[in-house]
Structure 1
Amino acid sequence: MTAQNEGPITIHAVKDKADKREFVELAYRLNRGDPAWVPPLKNEVYDLLTPGKNPWFEHGKANYFLARRGGRTVGRISAHIDFLALEQPASQGMGPGTGNWGLLEAEDGETAHALIAAAEDWLRGQGMTRALGPLSISVWDEPGLLIEGFETPPTIMLGHNSPLYRAWIEAEGYQPVKKLYNYAVEIVDGFPPIVNRIVAAGEKNDRIRIRRVDKSKFDAEAKLIMGILNDAWSDNWGFVPLTDGEIAHVGKKLKDIVFEDLIRVAEVDGEPVAFMIVLPNINEKLIEMDGSLFPFNWAKLLWWLRKPRSKRLRVPLMGVVKKLQNSRMASTLAFMMIEYIRRDGVARYGAEQGDIGWVLDDNQGMNAVAEAINATVNRVYQLYDKKL
């Protein structure tokens, strides 16, 4: 990212299709030289930004800005407000007066300064008194700025950014408010003996049933899992409930990369109380595609999805209902689901490593689970805030 001093920076709100195209395309131009950056599929980026395509806009609004210098686009940023987030308790990280920004890309610090100022001005104009970011766009999409772990490409649904951005953001007066960890764990040879003992004890408990999802009942299974998620995560920092529209959207988006043997639901006395979702790392294919399925990438991707081989698997979501959290039963269910999926991941997908995250830095339960299976932090994301 080399700054070209060709005149003053001007900020322009995205107003039409040409502006939106510049907004999307800029990320590919600025990051193309970074071997660890994985180009997202462009149609998914457009859907993220577009009301009617992204159900987040049913409870949120956003504005997008471009920075130009000498007729060139040199940066971008989004500013947005989630009305459901405004209704959450301030003690949980969101709350009244909190707006967000994200999707930052900039050629240099001067550009980043102008973009962040524009996002803050828009948020102030909407009555916000605090900025929390970066979020792209929802807390359920890609929260946080990568501050550790730049060396290797991220797995599916994890963000990546230039290491320069941290200093630029902190120079604007933003303070760290929350860290999110991603853990890596070697899975070929299994887990430590204590984990195996817990799993074996759980298998002897007639109250427990660990089952695969039934993809023939996909919509019902997605609704069940997201219902557990909304309960399990409701006290977490940054929580914003997923709406029925968002649950349906997530299900549709993930349906092609959901495999029955990589998702488990745990039942106790016949009641579904926990789940674990694992996804094959489609980024291993996307990194070759430069964001486009054409002309032949769609065929390559479809062929891979028929029977994916994935060295790394990612756990983006897991949860246990609140009434069981911090109990011995919760730990047993977690270790059983992890071990069952580990076995299938190694045997059927050629997996060698698992990624678990994001995990909040104060989530004692999940951090303890990660420690028990000898997982180590390989990526750290930082969320910042600032009074407006």
Structure 2
Amino acid sequence: MAAHSEGPITIRRVENKADKREFVELAYRLNRGDPAWVPPLKNEVFDLLTPGKNPWFEHGKAQLFLARRGERTVGRISAHIDALALAQPAEQGMGPGTGNWGLLEAEDEEVAAALFAAAEDWLRAQGMHRALGPLSISVWDEPGLLIEGFAEAPTIMLGHNSPLYRGWVEAAGYRPAKQLLNYAVDIVDGFPPIVERIVAAGEKNARIRVRRVDKRRFDAEAALIMGILNDAWSDNWGFVPLTDSEIAHVGKKLKALVFEDLIRIAEVDGEPVAFMIVLPDINELLIDMNGSLLPFHWAKLLWWLHKPKSRRLRVPLMGVVKKLQNSRMASTLAFMMIEFIRRDAVRDYGATRGDIGWVLDDNQGMKAVADAIEARVNRVYQIYDKSLG
């Protein structure tokens, strides 16, 4: 990342389409030299930032900022406030008076410091007394700053940033609030014998049924899964409930990446109580597209989506209803879903590795599952906070 430290820095708000285009394009310029950075599709970034396209704006508001030296754009940041996050208990990480920032890109530390100051001033003016970040833009999008695991490109829906940013964030007075872990696990040869025994016992249990999703009933299945998610994660640090319109939006966005044999719903005594979503790693394709499907990338994408061959898969979401958590049944269901999907993924998709994340650093249940299948932490994300008093 080249530094251009000459001249004073000016900060301006993003106020029109040209400004927003500048905001989006900057990430592609500053990260072009990083072989592990995966350029997101630009239309998806614009949708993330646009009220009417992103239902988050039904309960949140955001201000985007650009930093310039002379005529050169040298940085960007978002500041945002989520009314649903403000309504959460403070002991769960969000809560009253907590605003957020994210989407940081900066050429050097001086630029980053000016951007933090602008975001913090905006949050204070909105009545916030604490800044928590980075979130891009919701906690459900790309939370956390990558602090370990820079050598390898991330899998789908995981963020990536310059290793310099950690020092700049901490120099601005931010302190670690929570770590999010991503685990990698080799899946070709199966899991240790103890996991195989648990799965075999579960398969003999007449109370348990683990089924694939039915894509013909996509909307109903998505609503069912997200209902389990909102219950399963409701006590987690940083939890903000997904609204009906957000659930519909996520479903629409991910529908092309949903394959029935990569998503499982577990039922106990006929009641759906757990789910696991696995997505093929479209980043393997996007890394060479520079954020655009034109002129010919769309054909490659459509061909891949027909039946992807994906070396890596990612588990972005899984959950067990609260009433079963910390029970033997919960771990049985988790291992069964993981193993059933593993078998199909290796056979039908050519997958050799799975990623599981994000996992909160205090989620002992998921960490125990990861340890049991001999997964290893390969990326660590950190969320920071700072008092604005």
User: For 1:340 and 1:5, how far apart are their aligned partners in 2?
Assistant: 54
Shift of 1:347: 0.2
Partner of 1:221: 221
Q: Matched residue of 2:80: which SS? A: strand
The corresponding residue for 1:233 is: 233
How far residue 200 of structure 1 moved from its aligned partner, in angstroms, is 0.4
Query: Partner residue of 1:303?
Result: 303
Partner of 1:319: 319
Task: Provide the C-alpha distance between the structure 2 equivalents of 1:296 and 1:217, rounded to a whole number of angstroms.
Answer: 32
Partner of 1:375: 375
Q: Is the 8 A contact 1:30 1:107 kept in 2?
A: yes
SS in 2 for 1:63: strand
Residue 167 of structure 2: SS of its match in structure 1?
helix
CA deviations 1:84-121 (Å, max 9, x no partner) are: 00000000000000000000000000000000000000
1:42-62 residue CA offsets vs partner (Å, 9 max, x unmatched): 000000000000000000000
Unaligned runs of 5+ residues in structure 1 are none
Aligned to 2:194: 194
Q: Deviations over 1:129-179 (max 9, x none)?
A: 000000000000000000000000000000000000000000011000100
Task: Say if 1:146 and 1:382, in contact at 8 Å, map to a contact too.
Answer: yes
Residues 1:356 and 2:356 aligned together: yes
How many angstroms does 1:381 deviate by?
A: 0.1
Question: RMSD between aligned alpha carbons?
Answer: 0.4
Partner residue, 1:29: 29
Count of residues in correspondence between the two structures: 388
- 2:254 corresponds in structure 1 to 254
CA displacement, residues 246-286 of structure 1 (integer Å, 9 cap, x when unaligned): 00000000000000000000000000000000000000000
Question: Structure 1, residues 33-89: CA drift from partner, whole Å, max 9, x if none?
Answer: 000000000000000000000000000000000000021000000000000000000
Matched letter for residue 87 of structure 1: A
Letter in 2 for 1:209: R
Question: Is the partner of 1:105 in helix, strand or coil?
Answer: strand
Residue of structure 1 equivalent to 2:98:
98
The Cα of 1:181 is off from its aligned counterpart by: 0.2
CA drift of 1:7 comes to: 1.0
Between the aligned partners of 1:204 and 1:304, the Cα distance in structure 2 is 37
1:5, distance to aligned residue in structure 2 (A): 2.8
The one-letter code sitting in structure 1 at the alignment partner of 2:340 is Y
Question: Helix, strand or coil for the counterpart of 2:35?
Answer: coil
Q: Tell me, in whole angstroms, the C-alpha distance in 2 between the residues paired with 1:2 and 1:118.
A: 23
Letter of the 2:258 counterpart = V
Q: 1:70 maps to what in 2?
A: 70
* Alpha-carbon distance in structure 2 between the residues aligned to 1:2 and 1:111: 13
Q: Which residue matches 1:55?
A: 55
Structure 1 residue identity aligned to 2:360: L
Which position in structure 2 is the counterpart of 1:8?
A: 8
Structure 1 residue aligned with 2:330: 330
In the aligned structure 1, how far is the partner of 2:351 from the partner of 2:362? 29
Contact map agreement 2:63 2:78 (CA 8 A) in 1: yes
Alignment-mate amino acid for residue 310 of structure 2: S
| 1:113-128 equivalences in 2 (<5 Å) | 113-128=113-128
User: What amino acid is aligned across from residue 147 of structure 2 in structure 1?
Assistant: I
Cα offset, 1:3, TM superposition? 1.8
Q: Which runs of 4+ in 1 moved over 6 A?
A: none
If the length of structure 1 is used for normalisation, what is the TM-score? 1.00
Measure the CA separation in 2 of the matches of 1:292 and 1:332: 42
1:6 to partner: Cα distance: 3.2
Q: Tell me by how many angstroms 1:380 deviates.
A: 0.1
With normalisation by structure 2, the TM-score equals 0.99
SS of the residue 2:264 aligns to:
strand
Task: Give secondary structure in 2 for the equivalent of 1:111.
Answer: helix
1:173 is paired with a residue whose SS is coil
The match for 1:385 is 385
Q: CA separation in 2, counterparts of 1:275 and 1:17?
A: 40
1:267 aligns with 2:301: no
